[in-house]
Amino acid sequence: MARLGTLLCALAFGATVAATPPARAAETVKVGVILAYSGQAAASVKQMDEAINLYMKLHGKELGDTKLDLIRRDDTGPNPDMAKRLARELITRDKVNLLAGFYFTPNINAVAPLATEAKVPVIIMNAATSASIRLSPYLVRVSQTLWQQSYPLGQWAGHHGIKRAYIAVTDYGPGHDAEAAFARGFTEAGGTVVGHVEMPLKNADYVPFLQRIKDEKPDALFVFVPGSRDAAALMRAYSDLGLAAAGVRLIGTGDIVPDNELAEMGNVPDGVVTIGLYSAVADRPANKAFVAAWKAEYGPDAVPSPFAVGAWDGMAAIFHVVKAQHGKIDPDRTMQLLKGWRDDDSPRGPIMIDPQTRDIVQNMYIRKLERVNGKLANVEVETIPMVQDPWPKLNPPK
């Protein structure tokens, strides 16, 4: 008899539990993060991952009881087959609401059709080839494009007393973009390109190229090289050959002076001018707070790079759409929220997503490489406000 009573009790309890609606189910938003954690870009990607972690730590509470679940996957480098397979698995198996990351252009290019097919918004945190963004209406870019940097730098050079320029870029997609953009901006501003050279991708020795350029005696040398090791090797060749003394100014994209590598660059002549979206020494309040938080988390000698800022703002975009939809992610509503999204508190200054192109609009800074308190730093000397990517206007969709 007693046993029957227990059974009835248990049944009644079970029924009540089943009938009571759960007290406000906490939503979970799943975000697949695909980045090249291993391989040639691992150092830059580490910065991006650190930025993602720091953002979660500092802003995690803002989401209330919505849970943000980041699922990280390693695409190992420029490896589109792997990236596409990982994206496919994240979409079909893990049922992610959003995708983010993407260091290399071919990887996002391969994933773009999946984003359209599965209606999953993708936040591009690095890959910088202009044309990629057109491959799917579900892509948004928060990093930069090479045209956005090189074209305004070309115009700036033309307007600042540089008449003859030589172009040296690395021989692959982004290098070709940088060359075309700089040449266009520079000639439009009245300058003349006196020569150009495409240097092999796996090349640590820049001396022969720079020697030839020195003999040509241009007013300035425009350079794009990827990666921190190449940047350091290039800088060494520039100072060893005495190009500065020979009157050849070095200008380039921010890639040749990565903030986190400056400490290791040694004796660099003054007067190197670069254009970039972010400098760690910028004195905007938002940046000071960002750098302070970075150093508190990763040590007093740690310096955030532009890669970190791209990932940081990517997280800000994700938080924006998650908060606005209270954790219930609808792909088309998400895209509506991202188009025209504006953030004035980014470490790099105000940023906005262009509602038409879904690409980022941001300030571009002309910086001089100088010693501040004995340490090399990219000091911002001029601001070109709210630069759009010039490429779509010059290459209208067919």
Partner 1 sequence: MTKLDRRTAAVHPVDHIAHSHRLRWPEALPWLLIAATYLLFPSYLALGSQVLIMVLFALSLDLVLGYAGIVTLGHAAFFGLGAYTAGLLAAHGWSEPISALFAAAVVAGAFGAASGAIILRTSGLTLLMLTLAVVSLLAEAANKADSITGGADGLQGIVINPLLGRFDFDLYGRTAYLYCAAVLLVMWYVVRRLVHSPFGRSLTGIRENRLRMHAIGAPVRRRLVTAYAIGAAVAGVAGALQAQTTQFVALNVISFHLSAAVLIILIFGGAGRLYGAFVGAPIYMVAQDMLSRLDPVYWFFWVGLLLVLVVLFARGGILGCVDGVRRRWP
Residues near partner 1 (CB under 8 A) are 37-38, 42, 46, 72-74, 76-81, 84-85, 88-89, 91-93, 105-106, 109-110, 113-114, 117-118, 129, 131-132, 135, 171-174, 176, 201
Tell me how far, at minimum, the Cβ of 56 lies from partner 1, in Å.
16
Considering the complex, state which of residue 134 and residue 284 has its C-beta at the smaller distance from partner 1. Answer: 134
Quote the CA–CA distance of 74 and 374 in Å, as a whole number: 38
Tokens representing 218 are 């241009």
Yes or no: say if 107 and 69 are a contact pair by the CB < 8 Å rule.
no
Yes or no: say if 101 and 139 are a contact pair by the CB < 8 Å rule.
no
Yes or no: say if 350 and 386 are a contact pair by the CB < 8 Å rule.
yes
Max distance between CA atoms of the chain, in angstroms, equals 105
Q: How far is CA 286 from CA 220, 246, 344, in A?
A: 34, 40, 9
Considering the complex, state which of residue 219 and residue 359 has its C-beta at the smaller distance from partner 1. Answer: 359
Tell me how far, at minimum, the Cβ of 37 lies from partner 1, in Å.
4
Characterize 252-266 residue by residue with b for buried, 16 or more Cβ atoms within 10 angstroms of its Cβ, and e for exposed.
bbbbbbbbbbbeebe
Tell me how far, at minimum, the Cβ of 313 lies from partner 1, in Å.
22
Task: Specify the long-range contacts of residues 46-50, CB closer than 8 Å, at least 24 apart.
Answer: 47/260, 47/304, 47/305, 47/307, 47/308, 47/311, 48/101, 48/103, 48/125, 48/126, 48/307, 48/308, 48/310, 48/311, 49/311, 50/294, 50/297, 50/298, 50/308
Is the alpha carbon torsion for 77, 36, 338, 178 positive or negative? negative
What DSSP string runs through 289-307?
HHHHHHHHHH-TT----HH
Considering the complex, state which of residue 168 and residue 366 has its C-beta at the smaller distance from partner 1. Answer: 168
3-state secondary structure of 167: strand
Number of residues written out for the chain: 398
Considering the complex, state which of residue 56 and residue 131 has its C-beta at the smaller distance from partner 1. Answer: 131
Tell me how far, at minimum, the Cβ of 196 lies from partner 1, in Å.
15
Considering the complex, state which of residue 110 and residue 139 has its C-beta at the smaller distance from partner 1. Answer: 110
Tell me how far, at minimum, the Cβ of 151 lies from partner 1, in Å.
19
Tell me how far, at minimum, the Cβ of 32 lies from partner 1, in Å.
12
Tell me how far, at minimum, the Cβ of 61 lies from partner 1, in Å.
26
Quote the CA–CA distance of 373 and 382 in Å, as a whole number: 21
Considering the complex, state which of residue 77 and residue 327 has its C-beta at the smaller distance from partner 1. Answer: 77
Considering the complex, state which of residue 134 and residue 164 has its C-beta at the smaller distance from partner 1. Answer: 134
Considering the complex, state which of residue 46 and residue 236 has its C-beta at the smaller distance from partner 1. Answer: 46
Tell me how far, at minimum, the Cβ of 351 lies from partner 1, in Å.
25
Considering the complex, state which of residue 46 and residue 196 has its C-beta at the smaller distance from partner 1. Answer: 46
Tell me how far, at minimum, the Cβ of 225 lies from partner 1, in Å.
14
User: Whole-angstrom distance between the N-terminal and C-terminal Cα of the chain?
Assistant: 82
Tell me how far, at minimum, the Cβ of 171 lies from partner 1, in Å.
7
Considering the complex, state which of residue 68 and residue 268 has its C-beta at the smaller distance from partner 1. Answer: 68
Yes or no: say if 124 and 307 are a contact pair by the CB < 8 Å rule.
no
Where residue 76 falls (left for φ over 0; alpha for ψ -120 to 50; beta otherwise) is left
